[in-house]
Amino acid sequence: MEIKITKNPNPKEKPADESKLGFGKVFTDHMFLMDWDIDRGWHDARIVPYGPLSLSPACTALHYALEVFEGLKAYRTAEGKIQLFRPYENANRLKNSADRIGVPEVDPDDFVEAVLALVSLDKDWVPHTEGTSLYIRPVIFGDDSNVGLHTLRHAVFMIILAPSGMYYPEGLNPVRIMVEESDVRAVRGGTGYTKCGGNYAASQRASVLAEAKGYTQVLWLDGVERKYVEEVGSMNMMFKIDGKVITPALDDGSILPGITRKSILELVRSEGIPVEERKITLQEIIDAAEAGKLEEAWGCGTAAVVSPVGWLYAEGKEYEFNGGKIGPYTQHLYDEITSIQWGKAEDRFGWIVPVV
Ligand code: PLP
Ligand code: COI
């Protein structure tokens, strides 16, 4: 793929205090764009100065949410190298999301090439402080200027970069999660396994209500029986019960197949700890918590990394896990995953792709 580069003539000041970065609020000097039309396919790959887009008010993505996205990170190692974590996993998941939603797929090799070119140009934006990284947000959206529902004729692939710190203000302190008993996020045959904007729109009302009650995020139950635990707004869930790591299975297609989830399961299995990927009822979690068998609970995701869950509100009651403190196994998983991501530990699973 040929990528035309137009350098930003007015580069911005980089954030002076990396401890105040937050998540996804500051953007770098450049972005990647590529156009698609039904006759020519993908063309005109380019890196241009970061800035506003010009869109038709009738743009398909605005009216019908024809949009899929990804989230991955670039990390700076102590030696100053910049590296990506499993970018082909994101490339392949974006392909699956695009296929489901009906926007054109980007070839995984082109996806990775575009990410490498953009990150390498904006490499000085990868933050230096422990716990920070450069969040990479690729998006494909339909941009026909036509409000009729029809086969898409134009689309855009875009990548933007945001130097970021911890996703949750709690940092590595446990978050409070609330089980959503009314709205559902995804159903079998729906779009739950994709990263499409519509999934997050369907989640928004419950998340706002949970936040108003002092909970960080919502724990979704299955959309049919409202009985089985699925995932949290931006992370997959794992529970350590009776010495086993248990996580909801992906079979129904209603849960996002998280790359952090996949990586943690590989790590846990490599340590000889038993893993169960299966259906888990909310009742099983409550029973285990009440019987003192629920040792630890955590969520995992690119933005959230490994995030302990200290409290769960369900059916009118709040349950506390591990005394509201990060558990030793959650801390161990956080340390193991981030050591590989930040290049402090050997990449023994072959997860790292160097940028520069
Ligand atoms: N579940 C949802 C709904 C998410 O938005 C995310 C974040 O991407 C995850 C799970 C975790 O996925 P990953 O580990 O690939 O970031
Ligand atoms: C990610 O972890 O990459 C995500 O996309 C989560 C997002 C909702 C911030």
Q: Which two tokens stand for residue 265?
A: 């399961």
Query: Could you tell me the distance, in angstroms and rounded to a whole number, from the CA of residue 96 to the centre of ligand 1?
Result: 14
Domain membership of residue 347 (yes or no) is no
Q: Are 295 and 240 in contact (CB under 8 A)?
A: yes
CATH number at 53 reads: 3.30.470.10
Query: Could you tell me the distance, in angstroms and rounded to a whole number, from the CA of residue 26 to the centre of ligand 2?
Result: 16
The predicted structure's pLDDT at residue 57: 97
- Choose which residue among 135, 177, 236, 307 to substitute to test ligand 1 binding: the one with the highest number of ligand atoms within 8 A of its C-beta: 236
The predicted structure's pLDDT at residue 166: 87
Domain membership of residue 355 (yes or no) is no
- Strand pairing category for 217-221 and 229-232: antiparallel
Q: Which two tokens stand for residue 285?
A: 């979690």
- Looking at the fold, whether 120 and 219 belong to one and the same domain comes out as no
Q: Are 167 and 23 in contact (CB under 8 A)?
A: yes
Q: Are 33 and 46 in contact (CB under 8 A)?
A: yes
User: Is 22 near ligand 2, meaning CB less than 6 Å away?
Assistant: no
Q: Helix 259-270 and helix 328-341: axis angle, to 10°? A: 110
CA distances from 74 to 22, 91, 252, 338 (A): 16, 15, 31, 12
* 277 sits in which H/E element: strand 275-278
User: Is 93 near ligand 1, meaning CB less than 6 Å away?
Assistant: no
Residue 324's φ and ψ, nearest 5 degrees, are 70, 20
10 Å Cβ neighbour count for 31? 21
CATH number at 209 reads: 3.20.10.10
- Looking at the fold, whether 41 and 142 belong to one and the same domain comes out as yes
Domain membership of residue 45 (yes or no) is yes
Domain membership of residue 344 (yes or no) is no
Q: How far is CA 220 from the centre of its chain?
A: 16
- Looking at the fold, whether 82 and 46 belong to one and the same domain comes out as yes
Question: Any residues with CB less than 8 A from the CB of 79 and at least 6 apart, and which?
Answer: 343
- Looking at the fold, whether 108 and 199 belong to one and the same domain comes out as no
User: Is 301 near ligand 2, meaning CB less than 6 Å away?
Assistant: yes
Domain membership of residue 343 (yes or no) is no
Rounded distance between C-alpha atoms, residue 261 and residue 259, angstroms: 5
Domain membership of residue 169 (yes or no) is no
- Give how many domains the chain has, as a whole number: 2
- Looking at the fold, whether 141 and 81 belong to one and the same domain comes out as yes
User: Is 302 near ligand 1, meaning CB less than 6 Å away?
Assistant: yes
Domain membership of residue 317 (yes or no) is yes
User: Is 261 near ligand 1, meaning CB less than 6 Å away?
Assistant: yes
pLDDT in single tens digits along all 356 residues of the chain: 999 999 999 999 999 999 999 999 999 999 999 999 999 999 999 999 999 999 999 999 999 999 999 999 999 999 999 999 999 999 999 999 999 999 999 999 999 999 999 999 999 999 999 889 999 999 999 999 999 989 999 999 999 999 999 888 888 889 999 999 999 999 999 999 999 999 999 999 999 999 999 999 999 999 999 999 999 999 999 999 999 999 999 999 999 999 999 999 999 999 999 999 999 999 999 999 999 999 999 999 999 999 999 999 999 999 999 999 999 999 999 999 999 999 999 999 999 999 97
- Looking at the fold, whether 280 and 327 belong to one and the same domain comes out as yes
Domain membership of residue 159 (yes or no) is yes
Q: Which domain range does residue 37 map to?
A: 4-164
The predicted structure's pLDDT at residue 142: 98
Residue nearest to atom 2 of ligand 1 (CA): 234
The predicted structure's pLDDT at residue 172: 87
User: Is 247 near ligand 1, meaning CB less than 6 Å away?
Assistant: no
User: Is 138 near ligand 2, meaning CB less than 6 Å away?
Assistant: no
Last residue of a domain, one of 131, 164, 197: 164
Q: Which two tokens stand for residue 53?
A: 């887009």
- Looking at the fold, whether 326 and 184 belong to one and the same domain comes out as yes
What ligand is nearest to the CA atom of residue 25? 2
Q: Which two tokens stand for residue 273?
A: 């700890």
Q: Which two tokens stand for residue 132?
A: 């920070």
Tell whether pTM > 0.95: yes
Half-sphere exposure of 210 (CA within 13 A, CB side): 26
Rounded distance between C-alpha atoms, residue 96 and residue 304, angstroms: 22
- Looking at the fold, whether 231 and 324 belong to one and the same domain comes out as yes
Rounded distance between C-alpha atoms, residue 297 and residue 306, angstroms: 10
- Choose which residue among 234, 262, 305, 306 to substitute to test ligand 2 binding: the one with the highest number of ligand atoms within 8 A of its C-beta: 234
The predicted structure's pLDDT at residue 95: 98
Q: Which two tokens stand for residue 275?
A: 């893993």
Please state the length of the chain.
Answer: 356
Please write the tens of the pLDDT for every residue from 286-297: 999 999 999 999
Q: Are 297 and 266 in contact (CB under 8 A)?
A: no
- Looking at the fold, whether 189 and 141 belong to one and the same domain comes out as no
User: Is 250 near ligand 2, meaning CB less than 6 Å away?
Assistant: no
SS3 letters for 154-187? EEEEEEEEEEECCCCCCCCCCEEEEECCCCCCCC
- Looking at the fold, whether 123 and 200 belong to one and the same domain comes out as no
- Looking at the fold, whether 156 and 194 belong to one and the same domain comes out as no
- Looking at the fold, whether 283 and 183 belong to one and the same domain comes out as yes
- Choose which residue among 23, 196, 256, 261 to substitute to test ligand 1 binding: the one with the highest number of ligand atoms within 8 A of its C-beta: 256
Last residue of a domain, one of 136, 164, 192: 164
